[in-house]
Chains A and B, each alone.
Chain A
Amino acid sequence: MTKVFIGAAAGFAGDRSDAGGPVVNALATQPGQRFLMFETLAERTLALCQLERRQNPQHGFSPALERMLPPVLGHCLTSGIRIVGNFGAANPAAAAHRIVQIAHSLGLRAPRLATIEGDDIAAKLSAADFAAREIGGTSLARSRDIISANLYLGAQPIAQALDQGADIVVTGRVADSALALGPLLHAYRWHADDWNRLAAGTLAGHLLECGAQVTGGYFADPGYKDVPDLAEVGYPIAEVDETGEIVITKPQGTGGVVDRLTVVEQLLYEIHDPSAYLAPDVVLDLTDVEVTEIGKDRVRVSGARGRPAPETLKATVCFDSGLLGEAEISYAGPNASARAQLAAEVVRARLRKRVPHLNVRIDAIGVLSVLGAGHNRSDFGVAQANDVRLRFAAQSADAAQIEMLLDEVEALYCAGPAGGAGFRRRITPRLASASCLIERHYAEPRVTMLGASA
Protein backbone atom coordinates (compact mmCIF):
# COMPACT_ATOMS: atom_id res chain seq x y z
CA MET A 1 0.00 0.00 0.00
CA THR A 2 1.31 3.44 -0.81
CA LYS A 3 1.97 5.79 2.02
CA VAL A 4 2.18 9.50 2.56
CA PHE A 5 5.19 10.68 4.53
CA ILE A 6 4.92 13.82 6.66
CA GLY A 7 7.88 15.13 8.61
CA ALA A 8 7.86 17.80 11.29
CA ALA A 9 10.69 20.32 11.34
CA ALA A 10 9.42 22.65 14.05
CA GLY A 11 7.12 22.38 17.05
CA PHE A 12 7.33 26.04 18.03
CA ALA A 13 8.93 29.29 16.91
CA GLY A 14 11.93 28.78 19.15
CA ASP A 15 12.69 25.33 17.80
CA ARG A 16 16.04 24.31 16.31
CA SER A 17 16.93 25.47 12.84
CA ASP A 18 18.88 22.25 12.20
CA ALA A 19 15.93 20.00 13.08
CA GLY A 20 14.62 19.77 9.53
CA GLY A 21 17.82 18.58 7.83
CA PRO A 22 17.77 14.90 8.88
CA VAL A 23 13.99 14.76 8.39
CA VAL A 24 14.31 16.00 4.81
CA ASN A 25 17.17 13.59 4.13
CA ALA A 26 14.98 10.71 5.31
CA LEU A 27 11.93 11.90 3.36
CA ALA A 28 14.03 12.22 0.20
CA THR A 29 14.73 8.47 0.24
CA GLN A 30 11.01 7.59 0.30
CA PRO A 31 8.75 7.05 -2.69
CA GLY A 32 5.43 8.77 -3.09
CA GLN A 33 4.14 11.99 -1.66
CA ARG A 34 6.21 13.66 1.03
CA PHE A 35 5.57 16.78 3.06
CA LEU A 36 7.43 18.83 5.67
CA MET A 37 5.44 20.78 8.23
CA PHE A 38 6.44 23.70 10.44
CA GLU A 39 4.37 24.74 13.46
CA THR A 40 5.62 28.10 14.69
CA LEU A 41 2.60 29.99 16.05
CA ALA A 42 1.95 30.02 19.78
CA GLU A 43 -1.14 31.87 20.96
CA ARG A 44 0.56 35.19 21.50
CA THR A 45 2.98 34.96 18.58
CA LEU A 46 0.29 36.00 16.18
CA ALA A 47 -0.57 39.08 18.21
CA LEU A 48 3.09 40.10 18.33
CA CYS A 49 3.24 39.69 14.56
CA GLN A 50 0.08 41.78 14.18
CA LEU A 51 1.76 44.59 16.13
CA GLU A 52 4.78 44.38 13.81
CA ARG A 53 2.55 44.52 10.76
CA ARG A 54 0.97 47.74 12.07
CA GLN A 55 4.47 49.22 12.19
CA ASN A 56 5.45 47.96 8.73
CA PRO A 57 3.11 46.39 6.14
CA GLN A 58 5.96 44.15 4.93
CA HIS A 59 6.39 42.64 8.40
CA GLY A 60 4.15 40.49 10.55
CA PHE A 61 5.18 36.98 9.59
CA SER A 62 7.01 34.63 11.94
CA PRO A 63 10.71 35.46 12.00
CA ALA A 64 11.31 31.73 12.55
CA LEU A 65 11.09 31.17 8.80
CA GLU A 66 14.28 33.22 8.31
CA ARG A 67 16.34 30.62 10.17
CA MET A 68 14.29 27.44 9.64
CA LEU A 69 13.67 27.47 5.89
CA PRO A 70 17.10 28.17 4.34
CA PRO A 71 18.72 24.93 5.64
CA VAL A 72 16.09 22.72 3.93
CA LEU A 73 14.50 24.75 1.14
CA GLY A 74 16.87 23.64 -1.63
CA HIS A 75 16.67 19.95 -0.82
CA CYS A 76 12.87 20.12 -0.56
CA LEU A 77 12.53 21.81 -3.94
CA THR A 78 14.89 19.41 -5.73
CA SER A 79 13.35 16.32 -4.10
CA GLY A 80 9.71 17.32 -4.50
CA ILE A 81 9.08 17.54 -0.76
CA ARG A 82 6.30 20.04 -0.28
CA ILE A 83 6.28 22.41 2.68
CA VAL A 84 3.32 23.45 4.81
CA GLY A 85 3.92 26.00 7.56
CA ASN A 86 1.95 28.50 9.61
CA PHE A 87 4.82 30.98 9.62
CA GLY A 88 2.65 33.39 7.66
CA ALA A 89 1.28 34.53 11.03
CA ALA A 90 -0.32 37.95 10.60
CA ASN A 91 0.97 38.43 7.06
CA PRO A 92 1.12 35.29 4.87
CA ALA A 93 1.57 37.34 1.70
CA ALA A 94 4.67 39.07 3.05
CA ALA A 95 6.00 35.71 4.21
CA ALA A 96 5.53 34.30 0.71
CA HIS A 97 7.40 37.19 -0.86
CA ARG A 98 10.19 36.75 1.65
CA ILE A 99 10.42 33.03 0.79
CA VAL A 100 10.74 33.90 -2.91
CA GLN A 101 13.60 36.25 -1.99
CA ILE A 102 15.28 33.55 0.12
CA ALA A 103 15.02 31.03 -2.73
CA HIS A 104 16.47 33.56 -5.15
CA SER A 105 19.34 34.45 -2.82
CA LEU A 106 20.18 30.76 -2.45
CA GLY A 107 20.22 30.32 -6.23
CA LEU A 108 17.20 28.00 -6.19
CA ARG A 109 14.39 27.77 -8.70
CA ALA A 110 11.40 29.96 -7.97
CA PRO A 111 8.99 27.95 -5.82
CA ARG A 112 5.25 27.86 -6.46
CA LEU A 113 3.78 29.45 -3.36
CA ALA A 114 0.30 29.50 -1.98
CA THR A 115 -0.95 31.65 0.88
CA ILE A 116 -3.97 30.95 3.00
CA GLU A 117 -5.71 33.91 4.57
CA GLY A 118 -9.10 34.58 6.05
CA ASP A 119 -8.34 33.59 9.63
CA ASP A 120 -8.15 37.24 10.74
CA ILE A 121 -11.60 38.25 11.96
CA ALA A 122 -10.64 41.25 14.10
CA ALA A 123 -12.56 43.60 11.79
CA LYS A 124 -15.62 41.39 11.50
CA LEU A 125 -16.84 41.52 15.06
CA SER A 126 -16.91 44.19 17.74
CA ALA A 127 -15.23 43.87 21.12
CA ALA A 128 -18.67 43.26 22.62
CA ASP A 129 -19.34 40.53 20.04
CA PHE A 130 -16.12 38.79 20.99
CA ALA A 131 -16.86 39.17 24.70
CA ALA A 132 -20.25 37.52 24.17
CA ARG A 133 -18.53 34.54 22.53
CA GLU A 134 -15.74 34.06 25.05
CA ILE A 135 -15.39 30.60 26.59
CA GLY A 136 -13.77 29.75 29.90
CA GLY A 137 -13.62 33.27 31.26
CA THR A 138 -14.78 36.87 31.07
CA SER A 139 -11.51 38.64 30.39
CA LEU A 140 -12.72 40.22 27.13
CA ALA A 141 -15.51 42.04 28.94
CA ARG A 142 -12.85 43.98 30.84
CA SER A 143 -10.16 44.26 28.20
CA ARG A 144 -9.00 47.33 26.38
CA ASP A 145 -8.12 47.29 22.69
CA ILE A 146 -8.15 43.95 20.93
CA ILE A 147 -4.86 43.47 19.09
CA SER A 148 -5.69 40.34 17.12
CA ALA A 149 -8.54 37.90 16.63
CA ASN A 150 -7.93 34.83 14.52
CA LEU A 151 -9.98 31.78 13.75
CA TYR A 152 -8.42 28.35 13.63
CA LEU A 153 -9.01 27.39 10.01
CA GLY A 154 -9.14 23.76 8.96
CA ALA A 155 -7.31 21.57 6.48
CA GLN A 156 -9.44 22.10 3.36
CA PRO A 157 -7.73 25.28 2.13
CA ILE A 158 -4.32 23.64 2.59
CA ALA A 159 -5.45 20.68 0.49
CA GLN A 160 -6.80 23.08 -2.12
CA ALA A 161 -3.48 24.91 -2.31
CA LEU A 162 -1.65 21.62 -2.79
CA ASP A 163 -4.21 20.58 -5.42
CA GLN A 164 -3.26 23.75 -7.28
CA GLY A 165 0.38 22.74 -7.31
CA ALA A 166 1.94 24.69 -4.46
CA ASP A 167 5.46 23.69 -3.47
CA ILE A 168 5.06 25.70 -0.28
CA VAL A 169 1.83 26.55 1.54
CA VAL A 170 2.06 29.51 3.91
CA THR A 171 -0.77 29.88 6.37
CA GLY A 172 -1.73 32.17 9.17
CA ARG A 173 -3.73 30.66 12.00
CA VAL A 174 -4.88 27.14 11.23
CA ALA A 175 -5.40 24.25 13.60
CA ASP A 176 -1.91 22.85 14.17
CA SER A 177 -3.12 19.38 13.21
CA ALA A 178 -4.41 20.74 9.87
CA LEU A 179 -0.79 21.15 8.78
CA ALA A 180 -0.77 17.33 8.41
CA LEU A 181 -4.42 16.70 7.61
CA GLY A 182 -4.25 19.12 4.66
CA PRO A 183 -1.58 17.10 2.82
CA LEU A 184 -3.50 13.87 3.54
CA LEU A 185 -6.75 15.30 2.15
CA HIS A 186 -4.82 16.33 -0.95
CA ALA A 187 -3.08 12.98 -1.36
CA TYR A 188 -5.98 10.64 -0.61
CA ARG A 189 -9.02 12.73 -1.59
CA TRP A 190 -10.72 11.81 1.65
CA HIS A 191 -14.26 13.14 1.71
CA ALA A 192 -15.16 15.98 4.07
CA ASP A 193 -17.51 13.65 5.95
CA ASP A 194 -15.21 10.61 6.12
CA TRP A 195 -14.99 11.24 9.84
CA ASN A 196 -12.79 8.32 10.86
CA ARG A 197 -10.13 9.15 8.29
CA LEU A 198 -10.29 12.86 9.08
CA ALA A 199 -9.84 11.86 12.71
CA ALA A 200 -6.79 9.76 11.82
CA GLY A 201 -5.25 12.62 9.86
CA THR A 202 -5.94 14.99 12.74
CA LEU A 203 -4.29 12.54 15.11
CA ALA A 204 -1.24 12.33 12.85
CA GLY A 205 -1.00 16.11 12.94
CA HIS A 206 -1.47 16.18 16.70
CA LEU A 207 1.41 13.73 17.15
CA LEU A 208 3.68 15.79 14.86
CA GLU A 209 2.78 19.33 15.86
CA CYS A 210 5.17 19.57 18.81
CA GLY A 211 8.17 18.22 16.93
CA ALA A 212 10.54 16.29 19.17
CA GLN A 213 7.97 15.89 21.94
CA VAL A 214 7.00 12.55 20.36
CA THR A 215 10.58 11.36 19.78
CA GLY A 216 12.08 11.76 23.23
CA GLY A 217 11.99 15.52 23.82
CA TYR A 218 10.18 16.84 26.94
CA PHE A 219 10.51 13.27 28.20
CA ALA A 220 13.91 12.37 29.64
CA ASP A 221 14.18 11.84 33.40
CA PRO A 222 17.55 10.24 34.08
CA GLY A 223 17.33 6.85 35.74
CA TYR A 224 13.59 6.62 35.04
CA LYS A 225 13.17 7.66 31.43
CA ASP A 226 16.53 7.65 29.70
CA VAL A 227 16.74 8.92 26.14
CA PRO A 228 19.75 8.10 23.94
CA ASP A 229 21.63 11.07 22.43
CA LEU A 230 19.07 13.68 23.47
CA ALA A 231 21.41 16.40 22.20
CA GLU A 232 20.81 15.25 18.62
CA VAL A 233 17.18 14.21 19.04
CA GLY A 234 15.56 13.37 15.71
CA TYR A 235 12.32 15.05 14.71
CA PRO A 236 9.34 12.89 13.80
CA ILE A 237 8.02 11.46 10.56
CA ALA A 238 4.50 10.08 10.24
CA GLU A 239 3.78 7.47 7.59
CA VAL A 240 0.05 7.44 6.91
CA ASP A 241 -1.71 4.96 4.65
CA GLU A 242 -4.98 5.38 2.81
CA THR A 243 -6.97 3.78 5.63
CA GLY A 244 -5.62 6.29 8.12
CA GLU A 245 -3.23 3.95 9.90
CA ILE A 246 -0.24 5.88 11.22
CA VAL A 247 3.35 4.85 11.89
CA ILE A 248 5.44 7.34 13.87
CA THR A 249 9.18 7.10 13.33
CA LYS A 250 12.26 9.32 13.09
CA PRO A 251 15.29 9.59 10.80
CA GLN A 252 17.96 6.92 11.15
CA GLY A 253 21.14 8.06 12.84
CA THR A 254 19.44 10.67 15.00
CA GLY A 255 19.09 10.66 18.76
CA GLY A 256 15.93 10.24 20.76
CA VAL A 257 13.49 7.37 20.87
CA VAL A 258 10.07 6.51 19.50
CA ASP A 259 8.27 3.92 21.59
CA ARG A 260 4.90 3.34 23.22
CA LEU A 261 5.75 5.64 26.13
CA THR A 262 6.91 8.63 24.10
CA VAL A 263 3.93 8.32 21.77
CA VAL A 264 1.25 7.93 24.46
CA GLU A 265 2.53 10.95 26.38
CA GLN A 266 2.24 13.10 23.28
CA LEU A 267 -1.02 11.50 22.17
CA LEU A 268 -2.76 12.96 25.23
CA TYR A 269 -0.74 16.19 25.46
CA GLU A 270 -3.02 19.24 25.71
CA ILE A 271 -6.08 17.01 25.39
CA HIS A 272 -9.06 17.54 27.65
CA ASP A 273 -11.89 15.02 27.09
CA PRO A 274 -10.16 12.22 25.11
CA SER A 275 -13.47 11.24 23.52
CA ALA A 276 -13.97 14.71 22.05
CA TYR A 277 -10.92 16.58 20.81
CA LEU A 278 -12.41 19.43 18.82
CA ALA A 279 -10.71 20.31 15.55
CA PRO A 280 -12.12 22.47 12.75
CA ASP A 281 -12.66 19.49 10.43
CA VAL A 282 -13.73 16.72 12.82
CA VAL A 283 -14.25 15.77 16.45
CA LEU A 284 -11.53 13.24 17.29
CA ASP A 285 -12.26 10.38 19.69
CA LEU A 286 -9.07 8.85 21.13
CA THR A 287 -10.66 6.32 23.45
CA ASP A 288 -10.16 3.32 21.13
CA VAL A 289 -6.73 4.29 19.86
CA GLU A 290 -4.09 1.57 20.10
CA VAL A 291 -0.35 2.20 20.20
CA THR A 292 1.90 -0.71 19.21
CA GLU A 293 5.66 -0.96 18.88
CA ILE A 294 6.37 -2.64 15.53
CA GLY A 295 10.12 -2.10 15.22
CA LYS A 296 13.00 -0.02 16.46
CA ASP A 297 11.74 3.54 16.67
CA ARG A 298 8.57 2.57 14.84
CA VAL A 299 5.19 2.81 16.55
CA ARG A 300 1.85 2.10 14.93
CA VAL A 301 -1.12 4.24 15.98
CA SER A 302 -4.54 3.06 14.89
CA GLY A 303 -8.17 3.23 15.94
CA ALA A 304 -8.90 6.96 15.80
CA ARG A 305 -12.60 7.60 15.43
CA GLY A 306 -14.28 10.75 14.21
CA ARG A 307 -17.59 12.51 14.60
CA PRO A 308 -19.01 15.44 12.62
CA ALA A 309 -17.08 18.69 12.93
CA PRO A 310 -18.19 21.20 15.56
CA GLU A 311 -20.66 23.86 14.49
CA THR A 312 -18.40 26.66 15.69
CA LEU A 313 -14.73 27.45 15.20
CA LYS A 314 -12.34 28.42 17.93
CA ALA A 315 -10.69 31.82 17.79
CA THR A 316 -7.90 33.27 19.87
CA VAL A 317 -8.32 36.92 20.75
CA CYS A 318 -5.30 38.81 22.10
CA PHE A 319 -5.33 42.08 23.95
CA ASP A 320 -2.86 44.34 25.73
CA SER A 321 -2.51 43.49 29.40
CA GLY A 322 0.12 45.92 30.60
CA LEU A 323 3.70 45.36 31.66
CA LEU A 324 5.39 42.53 33.51
CA GLY A 325 8.22 43.74 35.71
CA GLU A 326 10.74 41.29 37.13
CA ALA A 327 13.76 41.88 39.35
CA GLU A 328 16.16 39.39 40.89
CA ILE A 329 18.88 39.49 43.53
CA SER A 330 20.91 36.70 45.18
CA TYR A 331 21.99 35.85 48.71
CA ALA A 332 24.55 33.11 49.33
CA GLY A 333 26.47 31.41 52.10
CA PRO A 334 25.58 30.87 55.77
CA ASN A 335 22.22 32.35 56.81
CA ALA A 336 21.38 33.19 53.17
CA SER A 337 17.70 32.24 53.60
CA ALA A 338 17.27 34.60 56.51
CA ARG A 339 18.92 37.47 54.65
CA ALA A 340 16.76 36.78 51.60
CA GLN A 341 13.65 36.80 53.76
CA LEU A 342 14.70 40.10 55.32
CA ALA A 343 15.22 41.55 51.82
CA ALA A 344 11.70 40.47 50.87
CA GLU A 345 10.29 42.09 54.01
CA VAL A 346 12.14 45.34 53.30
CA VAL A 347 10.74 45.56 49.78
CA ARG A 348 7.23 44.69 50.94
CA ALA A 349 7.36 47.33 53.68
CA ARG A 350 8.54 50.05 51.29
CA LEU A 351 5.98 49.18 48.62
CA ARG A 352 3.14 49.06 51.14
CA LYS A 353 3.60 52.77 51.68
CA ARG A 354 4.29 53.74 48.07
CA VAL A 355 2.22 51.45 45.78
CA PRO A 356 -0.14 49.71 48.20
CA HIS A 357 -2.35 48.18 45.51
CA LEU A 358 0.39 46.58 43.44
CA ASN A 359 0.23 42.78 43.71
CA VAL A 360 3.85 41.68 44.08
CA ARG A 361 4.92 38.07 43.87
CA ILE A 362 8.14 37.06 45.60
CA ASP A 363 9.82 33.76 44.77
CA ALA A 364 12.87 32.28 46.43
CA ILE A 365 14.45 30.45 43.51
CA GLY A 366 16.01 27.21 44.68
CA VAL A 367 13.80 27.15 47.77
CA LEU A 368 10.24 27.99 46.86
CA SER A 369 9.38 29.19 43.38
CA VAL A 370 8.14 26.97 40.59
CA LEU A 371 6.28 24.22 42.39
CA GLY A 372 3.34 24.73 44.65
CA ALA A 373 1.62 28.00 45.34
CA GLY A 374 3.75 29.05 48.22
CA HIS A 375 4.89 32.40 46.94
CA ASN A 376 2.87 34.31 49.49
CA ARG A 377 4.44 32.38 52.33
CA SER A 378 7.00 34.33 54.25
CA ASP A 379 8.72 31.43 55.95
CA PHE A 380 11.35 30.59 53.36
CA GLY A 381 13.84 32.20 55.69
CA VAL A 382 13.78 29.07 57.83
CA ALA A 383 15.11 26.98 54.96
CA GLN A 384 18.74 26.09 55.37
CA ALA A 385 19.49 27.04 51.78
CA ASN A 386 22.81 28.74 51.21
CA ASP A 387 22.17 29.90 47.65
CA VAL A 388 18.92 31.80 47.26
CA ARG A 389 17.89 33.96 44.34
CA LEU A 390 14.95 36.24 45.09
CA ARG A 391 12.62 37.09 42.26
CA PHE A 392 10.10 39.91 42.52
CA ALA A 393 7.37 40.17 39.89
CA ALA A 394 4.34 42.33 39.27
CA GLN A 395 2.08 43.22 36.38
CA SER A 396 0.39 46.56 35.79
CA ALA A 397 -0.70 48.93 33.06
CA ASP A 398 0.98 51.67 35.11
CA ALA A 399 4.66 51.75 34.14
CA ALA A 400 5.50 54.01 37.09
CA GLN A 401 4.34 51.35 39.56
CA ILE A 402 6.42 48.69 37.87
CA GLU A 403 9.47 50.97 37.87
CA MET A 404 8.91 51.62 41.57
CA LEU A 405 9.07 47.92 42.33
CA LEU A 406 12.22 47.37 40.29
CA ASP A 407 13.89 50.44 41.82
CA GLU A 408 13.16 49.20 45.33
CA VAL A 409 14.74 45.83 44.59
CA GLU A 410 17.78 47.51 43.05
CA ALA A 411 18.14 49.70 46.14
CA LEU A 412 18.72 46.54 48.18
CA TYR A 413 22.30 46.64 46.90
CA CYS A 414 23.28 49.44 49.28
CA ALA A 415 20.35 49.64 51.66
CA GLY A 416 19.26 46.00 52.08
CA PRO A 417 20.69 43.02 53.96
CA ALA A 418 24.35 42.06 53.74
CA GLY A 419 25.71 40.42 50.64
CA GLY A 420 22.93 41.16 48.13
CA ALA A 421 24.37 40.23 44.73
CA GLY A 422 23.71 39.96 41.02
CA PHE A 423 20.74 42.30 40.60
CA ARG A 424 18.92 42.08 37.25
CA ARG A 425 15.74 43.82 36.10
CA ARG A 426 13.48 43.42 33.10
CA ILE A 427 10.21 44.87 31.83
CA THR A 428 8.22 42.90 29.26
CA PRO A 429 5.08 44.15 27.48
CA ARG A 430 2.35 41.66 28.18
CA LEU A 431 -0.35 40.29 25.91
CA ALA A 432 -3.22 38.27 27.23
CA SER A 433 -5.43 35.99 25.20
CA ALA A 434 -8.91 34.61 25.39
CA SER A 435 -10.70 31.89 23.45
CA CYS A 436 -14.00 32.40 21.66
CA LEU A 437 -16.35 30.14 19.76
CA ILE A 438 -17.33 31.75 16.46
CA GLU A 439 -19.99 30.85 13.93
CA ARG A 440 -18.53 29.21 10.84
CA HIS A 441 -19.82 31.77 8.38
CA TYR A 442 -17.22 34.24 9.62
CA ALA A 443 -14.51 31.96 8.21
CA GLU A 444 -13.79 32.87 4.60
CA PRO A 445 -10.53 31.11 3.75
CA ARG A 446 -8.77 32.42 0.66
CA VAL A 447 -6.13 30.49 -1.27
CA THR A 448 -3.84 32.65 -3.37
CA MET A 449 -1.23 31.21 -5.71
CA LEU A 450 1.87 33.19 -6.55
CA GLY A 451 5.29 32.61 -8.00
CA ALA A 452 5.99 30.35 -10.98
CA SER A 453 2.84 28.91 -12.55
CA ALA A 454 2.19 25.23 -12.14
Chain B
Amino acid sequence: MRTVRLQEIANARTGDKGNRLNLVLVCRNPADFPTVAAQVTAERVAQVFAARKPARVVRYDLPKLAAFNFVLDDVLEGGVNASIGLDGHGKSLSFLVLDIPIEIAADAPRFTRGTQNQSV
Protein backbone atom coordinates (compact mmCIF):
# COMPACT_ATOMS: atom_id res chain seq x y z
CA MET B 1 0.00 0.00 0.00
CA ARG B 2 1.01 3.59 -0.40
CA THR B 3 -0.51 6.83 0.82
CA VAL B 4 -1.68 9.60 -1.48
CA ARG B 5 -3.83 12.64 -0.97
CA LEU B 6 -7.46 12.15 -2.00
CA GLN B 7 -6.92 14.82 -4.66
CA GLU B 8 -4.82 12.26 -6.58
CA ILE B 9 -7.82 10.00 -7.21
CA ALA B 10 -11.01 12.01 -6.72
CA ASN B 11 -12.70 15.27 -7.62
CA ALA B 12 -14.81 17.38 -5.29
CA ARG B 13 -17.27 20.26 -5.46
CA THR B 14 -19.21 22.06 -2.75
CA GLY B 15 -22.61 23.72 -2.82
CA ASP B 16 -24.55 25.60 -0.16
CA LYS B 17 -28.08 26.11 1.07
CA GLY B 18 -28.22 28.42 4.04
CA ASN B 19 -25.90 27.07 6.72
CA ARG B 20 -25.75 23.62 5.14
CA LEU B 21 -22.94 22.47 2.87
CA ASN B 22 -23.05 19.66 0.36
CA LEU B 23 -19.81 18.17 -0.84
CA VAL B 24 -19.73 16.01 -3.95
CA LEU B 25 -16.87 13.53 -4.21
CA VAL B 26 -16.38 11.77 -7.57
CA CYS B 27 -13.86 8.97 -8.16
CA ARG B 28 -11.81 9.79 -11.22
CA ASN B 29 -11.52 6.07 -11.85
CA PRO B 30 -14.80 4.31 -10.95
CA ALA B 31 -12.78 1.29 -9.79
CA ASP B 32 -11.65 3.37 -6.79
CA PHE B 33 -15.19 3.62 -5.42
CA PRO B 34 -14.79 0.85 -2.78
CA THR B 35 -11.44 2.25 -1.63
CA VAL B 36 -12.89 5.71 -1.13
CA ALA B 37 -16.07 4.30 0.44
CA ALA B 38 -14.02 2.45 3.04
CA GLN B 39 -11.78 5.33 3.99
CA VAL B 40 -13.61 8.61 3.42
CA THR B 41 -16.41 8.00 5.87
CA ALA B 42 -18.83 10.57 7.27
CA GLU B 43 -16.84 10.41 10.50
CA ARG B 44 -13.59 11.13 8.66
CA VAL B 45 -15.11 14.14 6.91
CA ALA B 46 -16.57 15.35 10.22
CA GLN B 47 -13.03 15.30 11.63
CA VAL B 48 -11.82 17.51 8.80
CA PHE B 49 -14.47 20.05 9.70
CA ALA B 50 -14.13 19.63 13.47
CA ALA B 51 -13.17 23.28 14.00
CA ARG B 52 -16.55 24.27 12.55
CA LYS B 53 -18.44 21.86 14.79
CA PRO B 54 -20.83 20.30 12.25
CA ALA B 55 -24.20 19.45 13.82
CA ARG B 56 -24.51 16.42 11.53
CA VAL B 57 -22.61 14.81 8.66
CA VAL B 58 -24.36 12.33 6.37
CA ARG B 59 -22.82 10.47 3.42
CA TYR B 60 -25.02 9.33 0.55
CA ASP B 61 -23.47 6.74 -1.78
CA LEU B 62 -24.07 6.77 -5.53
CA PRO B 63 -22.31 3.68 -6.85
CA LYS B 64 -23.67 4.08 -10.38
CA LEU B 65 -21.95 7.46 -10.56
CA ALA B 66 -18.86 6.38 -8.60
CA ALA B 67 -19.67 9.34 -6.40
CA PHE B 68 -20.63 10.34 -2.86
CA ASN B 69 -22.66 13.24 -1.54
CA PHE B 70 -21.77 14.51 1.90
CA VAL B 71 -24.20 16.82 3.65
CA LEU B 72 -22.78 18.85 6.54
CA ASP B 73 -25.13 20.82 8.75
CA ASP B 74 -24.19 24.15 10.36
CA VAL B 75 -20.65 24.47 9.01
CA LEU B 76 -20.92 27.71 7.03
CA GLU B 77 -20.70 30.17 9.94
CA GLY B 78 -24.27 31.18 9.14
CA GLY B 79 -24.04 30.85 5.37
CA VAL B 80 -23.72 33.41 2.62
CA ASN B 81 -26.37 35.75 4.03
CA ALA B 82 -25.15 35.72 7.61
CA SER B 83 -21.45 34.82 7.76
CA ILE B 84 -19.00 37.66 8.26
CA GLY B 85 -16.24 35.49 6.84
CA LEU B 86 -14.95 35.66 3.28
CA ASP B 87 -16.38 32.38 2.01
CA GLY B 88 -19.93 32.18 3.26
CA HIS B 89 -20.79 29.85 0.38
CA GLY B 90 -18.11 27.37 1.43
CA LYS B 91 -16.92 27.21 -2.17
CA SER B 92 -13.31 26.65 -1.14
CA LEU B 93 -14.06 23.88 1.35
CA SER B 94 -13.94 20.95 -1.09
CA PHE B 95 -10.17 21.22 -0.98
CA LEU B 96 -10.06 20.54 2.75
CA VAL B 97 -11.47 17.09 2.00
CA LEU B 98 -9.19 16.53 -0.99
CA ASP B 99 -6.28 16.85 1.43
CA ILE B 100 -7.30 13.66 3.28
CA PRO B 101 -4.58 10.99 3.03
CA ILE B 102 -5.79 7.75 1.52
CA GLU B 103 -4.19 4.30 1.22
CA ILE B 104 -4.17 2.81 -2.26
CA ALA B 105 -2.58 -0.31 -3.74
CA ALA B 106 1.16 0.10 -4.20
CA ASP B 107 0.91 -0.63 -7.92
CA ALA B 108 -2.16 1.57 -8.59
CA PRO B 109 -1.54 3.68 -11.70
CA ARG B 110 -1.68 7.42 -11.36
CA PHE B 111 -4.96 8.27 -12.97
CA THR B 112 -4.68 11.41 -15.03
CA ARG B 113 -7.44 13.20 -16.76
CA GLY B 114 -5.50 13.21 -20.01
CA THR B 115 -7.41 13.68 -23.19
CA GLN B 116 -11.12 13.83 -22.96
CA ASN B 117 -13.33 10.76 -22.98
CA GLN B 118 -10.76 8.24 -21.92
CA SER B 119 -11.75 8.66 -18.33
CA VAL B 120 -14.17 5.75 -17.92
Whether A associates with B in a native complex is yes
Is B84 a contact of A267 with CB atoms below 8 Å? no
- For residue B54, give the distance in angstroms from its CB to the closest CB of chain A: 11
Asked, given contacts A268-B24, A272-B71, A274-B69, whether A260 binds B15 with beta carbons under 8 Å apart, the answer is no
Specify the chain A residue showing the minimal Cβ separation from B50: A373
A446 within 8 A of B: no
Is A260 a contact of B120 with CB atoms below 8 Å? yes
Is A270 a contact of B81 with CB atoms below 8 Å? no
Residues of A within 8 A of B53 (CB): 373
- For residue A335, give the distance in angstroms from its CB to the closest CB of chain B: 25
A213-253 residues at the B interface, CB under 8 angstroms: 218-219, 221, 224-226
Q: Which of B60, B67, B87, B92 contacts A264 (CB 8 A)?
A: B67
Specify the chain A residue showing the minimal Cβ separation from B92: A370
A53 within 8 A of B: no
Residues of B within 8 A of A433 (CB): 18, 81
Is B84 a contact of A291 with CB atoms below 8 Å? no
B119 within 8 A of A: yes
- Interface size range of chain B in the complex: 35 or more
B65-99 residues at the A interface, CB under 8 angstroms: 65-67, 69, 71, 77, 80-82, 84-87, 91-93, 95-96
Residues of A within 8 A of B66 (CB): 264
A261 within 8 A of B: yes
Is A430 a contact of B81 with CB atoms below 8 Å? yes
A270-286 residues at the B interface, CB under 8 angstroms: 270-275, 286
B32 within 8 A of A: no
C-alpha spacing A136/B60, complex, angstroms: 20
Is B81 a contact of A264 with CB atoms below 8 Å? no
Number of A-B contacts (CB under 8 A): 134
C-alpha spacing A218/B94, complex, angstroms: 11
Is A270 a contact of B120 with CB atoms below 8 Å? no
Residues of B within 8 A of A371 (CB): 92-93, 95-96
B113 within 8 A of A: yes
A296 within 8 A of B: yes
- For residue B56, give the distance in angstroms from its CB to the closest CB of chain A: 11
Q: Which of B17, B28, B116 contacts A297 (CB 8 A)?
A: B116
A288 within 8 A of B: yes
C-alpha spacing A372/B81, complex, angstroms: 19
Q: Which of A137, A270, A374, A394 contacts B15 (CB 8 A)?
A: A270
- Interface size range of chain A in the complex: 35 or more
C-alpha spacing A430/B88, complex, angstroms: 13
Residues of A within 8 A of B18 (CB): 136-137, 433-435
- For residue B50, give the distance in angstroms from its CB to the closest CB of chain A: 9
Residue of A268, A269, A363, A435 with most chain B CB atoms under a 10 A cut-off? A268
Is A265 a contact of B86 with CB atoms below 8 Å? no
Is B13 a contact of A218 with CB atoms below 8 Å? yes
C-alpha spacing A261/B17, complex, angstroms: 23
A342 within 8 A of B: no
- For residue A439, give the distance in angstroms from its CB to the closest CB of chain B: 21
C-alpha spacing A426/B113, complex, angstroms: 42
C-alpha spacing A43/B17, complex, angstroms: 10
B26 within 8 A of A: yes
Can you show 16 pairs from A to B with CB atoms below 8 A apart?
Answer: A218-B91, A265-B24, A267-B65, A268-B67, A270-B15, A271-B22, A271-B24, A271-B69, A272-B69, A324-B84, A363-B86, A370-B86, A391-B86, A393-B85, A432-B81, A433-B81
Q: A286-B62, A288-B64 are in contact. List 14 more A-B contacts (CB 8 A).
A: A44-B81, A136-B20, A218-B91, A261-B113, A270-B15, A270-B16, A272-B17, A272-B22, A274-B60, A295-B117, A365-B86, A369-B85, A371-B92, A435-B17
Residue numbers of A with Cβ under 8 A of B are 43-44, 136-137, 218-219, 221, 224-226, 257, 259-261, 264-275, 286-293, 295-297, 303, 321, 324, 359, 361, 363, 365, 369-375, 391, 393-395, 430-435
Residue numbers of B with Cβ under 8 A of A are 7-8, 11, 13, 15-20, 22, 24, 26, 28, 51-53, 60, 62, 64-67, 69, 71, 77, 80-82, 84-87, 91-93, 95-96, 113, 116-117, 119-120
